[in-house]
Structure 1
Amino acid sequence: MGSCFYRVLLLAGFCAPIFCMWASNPRNRESPQPPSTKGNPAFQVSPSNTKFAFFLYQRLAQESPGQNVLFSPVSISTSLAMLSLGARSATKTQILRSLGFNLTHVPESTIHLGFEQLVRSLNVCHKDRDLRTGSVLFIRKELQLQATFLDRAKRLYGTKVFSEDFSNTVTAQARINSYVEKETRGKVVDVIQELDSQTAMVLVNHIFFKANWTQPFSTANTNKSFPFLLSKGGTVRVPMMHQTELFAFGVDRELGCIVLQMDYRGDAVAFFVLPGKGRGKMWQLEKSLSARRLRKWSLSLQKRWIKVFIPKFSISASYNLETILPKMGIRDAFNANADFSGITKTHFLQVSKAAHKAVLDVSEEGTEAAAATTTKLIVRSRDNPSSIISFNQPFLILLLEKSTKSILFLGKVENPQKM
């Protein structure tokens, strides 16, 4: 290998804008059943992606107590899986194991086939939603990349490749930021604040979601100033949407939390999880998140007439994952032990930065929700014709794409007014 040392800037799924539009025709109230996932390779990577999603969430929540949390698990997983194509030795092993894969039982080829099908499935055109993901490489002009890496990145992940002059950092930064802004419909701007002159390659994975509720809120019913209780004490006034409808709903007795499901038109579903009142209830819920708990929730919810109050809000979150991922086992990729000889044999590469930025808009036009559990859910007594659920305190959100069982977005709303 040559003596030159360059850095890779990994913008791992930093674009996660959600902009939910009001369904003009609220017919077809029943949510469609998800298509069969039997034999779908994308479904085979779903359990590992879900495990990684909750593991990363718990890390991010620990790093930012009392703050909003928001990220796109599927976007970050896809970025790291694509990066592993060019990794070798311990660098590759650490990435794939941290993504939740048991390499003694799941061949690497199966993992990439699963992600290939996942990317294709998520990008299938649907009349009721706009869900688009994509990957792009901005590569230093003089960098000689391995043909095998480029071919697999394009074939398996649909990656676009652009040559870039990183010696002119201002121009390169502007070009990448412009690309991101365009792909996210102007929702994510200036994601790169600074480029290192030693940057060799910028890996970008982006995701954009836009859909309609099957049961939209009416703007006429929105309370313009409603008290929302903060976890650290005090309140903020927020616009509070509400409606009475037939929703899937349940109570997790073990955790004392309420789980509410709301459907989007177009094979996507949102979960809202409201922890019980009392000190430590949110943390108890967060540390209990798992793929098994989420699956139990999904299977146990039952439909009831519910009067629901959900705040109207816009939040965003940005993370420097190079400080988080090493704590999750991806160590060598970010230090001098990095082995990305599958990308280029003429230069030493290591990841200098892994940036992630997510943006979430929730209004009468739509919203998201999060949850998971190992215990069975119960449904409140049928003798109450209309239970009332008010999300007027911190809650979890999760957005799930049904056909691939993929978590598109996961987060926590601590303060609906804080961007």
Structure 2
Amino acid sequence: MGNKQSESQILNKQQCKALNDQLGQNFSKFTFNLYKKLAKSQNLIFSPASIYIALSMAALGSNNQTLLEFKDILGFSNQSQLAENIGLLLKILQQNQQGITTQIANKIYQGIPQLGIEYYKIMMKHFDSMIQKVNFASDCEQIRVEINKWVEEVTKEKIKDLLPPNCLNQSTAMVLVNAIYFKGNWLKKFDFKLTEQKEFYLEYENFGQKIQTDTMVKEDEYYYFQNSSYQYVQIPYKGGEYFMELMLPKESLNLFEQSLSEDTFQSARKNKYNRNLTLYLPKFKLQPVNTMSLNQILNELGLIEAFSCNADFSIMDPNKNIQISNVFHKSMIEVNEEGAEAAAATAITFIECEESEISVIFNKPFIYAITHIPSETVLFMGKVTDPSKQN
């Protein structure tokens, strides 16, 4: 039994290294590109993993210029390799570990007549996706409620109302959904009795102000690193694979964020070392009420054609008739003496491409001509400045 477990651990490390070589750097770059776009707010919680997986579901259904934009924003070069990497990632992240619960689920609500055969196979094999045929034209509001209920179930009721009212309509063609739930117990818990109110110094528009907040304290050995810019601490969860990474800038967070990149964390992970320290960490719970729309941010990152009628999702929809209408995201996190609980969901809604209605209203002075087009002979020409007058 011991040997089997050892072999399993070795295999898992090999898989993680292979995955990190193929997906890790691109995923990290995507993560910090998103962070910089979202960091304009104060408190922030989002799930790069949920967003990346949902966008990958869309990317694998795309072609031509739309595919090139997905490749650029997600950082992959080969669709088959992306599908295999996501499939492996889902297996690794959801392995059974004592003290850790990780659940990741994907679902497609299909309103188009049929999915592309290859796309269907990829979603089933690598994403373990559920696929449900629906009729948005008959009851889009009921489907919205049903999607929100499914997300709520996967996330243990932590993510509610992912899709806001009226976001689906009769032209909705499909919804791709990813949901993630995580609960991890600290390897060594904080002592409730030592938690007490401590000062916390605010920044941004409240710069210079301080508040009192419940702060946990523990003296122990932690992975630690510091340089002239920041202090870095890793807090281990049970199981030995998940850690909470904490980064405390020595100057203001606002200034620190300007130079923050994937290299910042990678350098800290590489140079960390074990040392005894006393850690003071505020308890916190972030649970935004409103769903976040990622449309503008994704546009700024280079995903443009996917939102237009020029979008090519022909791998997903053989009729080549759909475009993304919205990318919704919602997440939460709670950190206390026991550990952390977090959840997130991402939904990508598609609509049928229709030429937008154009109205041309001649309600101000205009020029007119009666022309024989083949010879380009203008028989009559003039202008109308007041149609109520005859001269």
Query: Please, which of 28, 43, 51 is the counterpart of residue 50 of structure 1?
Result: 28
Whether 1:185 aligns to 2:156 is yes
Q: Contact (CA 8 Å) 1:149, 1:342: kept in 2 or not?
A: yes
Task: Please tell me the residue identity of whatever aligns with 1:153.
Answer: M
Task: Please tell me the residue identity of whatever aligns with 2:69.
Answer: Q
1:169 alignment counterpart: 140
Whether 1:228 aligns to 2:200 is yes
**How far is 1:138 from its partner?**
0.9
Query: Please, which of 107, 118, 123 is the counterpart of residue 148 of structure 1?
Result: 118
1:87 alignment counterpart: 62
Mapped to 1, the partners of 2:57 and 2:146 lie a distance apart of: 22
Task: Please tell me the residue identity of whatever aligns with 1:320.
Answer: S
1:313 alignment counterpart: 284
Q: Contact (CA 8 Å) 2:184, 2:340: kept in 1 or not?
A: no
Query: Please, which of 243, 259, 270 is the counterpart of residue 269 of structure 1?
Result: 243
Q: Contact (CA 8 Å) 2:105, 2:129: kept in 1 or not?
A: yes
Aligned-partner SS, 2:237: strand
Of structures 1 and 2, the one scoring higher in RCO (CA 8 A, sep 6+) is: 1
Distance of aligned partners of 1:176 and 1:39 in 2 relative to their CA distance in 1, 3 Å threshold:
closer
Q: Contact (CA 8 Å) 1:340, 1:350: kept in 2 or not?
A: yes
Q: Contact (CA 8 Å) 1:88, 1:339: kept in 2 or not?
A: yes
Q: TM-score, normalised by structure 2?
A: 0.78
Mapped to 1, the partners of 2:13 and 2:37 lie a distance apart of: 33
Aligned length: 326
Q: Deviations over 1:95-120 (max 9, x none)?
A: 1211123x3xxx33222221111112
- 1:284-295 aligned at under 5 Å gives the runs 284-295=255-266
Structure of higher CA gyration radius:
2
Query: Please, which of 71, 84, 90 is the counterpart of residue 113 of structure 1?
Result: 84
Aligned-partner SS, 1:94: helix
Q: Contact (CA 8 Å) 2:66, 2:306: kept in 1 or not?
A: yes
Aligned-partner SS, 2:175: strand
Distance of aligned partners of 1:34 and 1:346 in 2 relative to their CA distance in 1, 3 Å threshold:
closer
Q: Contact (CA 8 Å) 1:242, 1:309: kept in 2 or not?
A: yes
Mapped to 2, the partners of 1:130 and 1:59 lie a distance apart of: 30
Q: Deviations over 1:318-359 (max 9, x none)?
A: 421111101001111112221111111235111111011110
Mapped to 2, the partners of 1:52 and 1:155 lie a distance apart of: 25
Mapped to 2, the partners of 1:155 and 1:367 lie a distance apart of: 31
**How far is 1:182 from its partner?**
0.4
Whether 1:366 aligns to 2:327 is no
Identity of aligned residues (%): 27
1:99 alignment counterpart: 74
**How far is 1:74 from its partner?**
1.5
Mapped to 2, the partners of 1:38 and 1:312 lie a distance apart of: 34
* Stretches of structure 1 lacking an aligned partner (at least 5 in a row): 1-31, 369-398, 400-407, 410-419
Q: Deviations over 1:244-286 (max 9, x none)?
A: 1111112122x2x111111011210111111113xxx323322
Mapped to 2, the partners of 1:72 and 1:186 lie a distance apart of: 17
Mapped to 2, the partners of 1:333 and 1:287 lie a distance apart of: 29
Q: Deviations over 1:9-61 (max 9, x none)?
A: xxxxxxxxxxxxxxxxxxxxxxx999523685432211110111011101111
1:36 alignment counterpart: 13
- In terms of fraction of residues, the more helix-rich structure is 2
Mapped to 1, the partners of 2:69 and 2:127 lie a distance apart of: 20
Mapped to 2, the partners of 1:116 and 1:48 lie a distance apart of: 16
Q: Deviations over 1:363-415 (max 9, x none)?
A: 111259xxxxxxxxxxxxxxxxxxxxxxxxxxxxxx9xxxxxxxx99xxxxxx
Mapped to 2, the partners of 1:360 and 1:328 lie a distance apart of: 26
Distance of aligned partners of 1:133 and 1:359 in 2 relative to their CA distance in 1, 3 Å threshold:
same
Mapped to 2, the partners of 1:46 and 1:282 lie a distance apart of: 25
**How far is 1:147 from its partner?**
1.8
Mapped to 1, the partners of 2:103 and 2:29 lie a distance apart of: 23
Whether 1:77 aligns to 2:47 is no
Task: Please tell me the residue identity of whatever aligns with 1:295.
Answer: Q
Mapped to 2, the partners of 1:154 and 1:288 lie a distance apart of: 40
Q: Contact (CA 8 Å) 2:223, 2:274: kept in 1 or not?
A: yes
Mapped to 2, the partners of 1:236 and 1:155 lie a distance apart of: 51
2:226 alignment counterpart: 251
Q: Contact (CA 8 Å) 1:177, 1:189: kept in 2 or not?
A: yes
Distance of aligned partners of 1:59 and 1:365 in 2 relative to their CA distance in 1, 3 Å threshold:
same
Task: Please tell me the residue identity of whatever aligns with 1:99.
Answer: L
Give the alignment's Cα RMSD to 1 decimal: 2.2
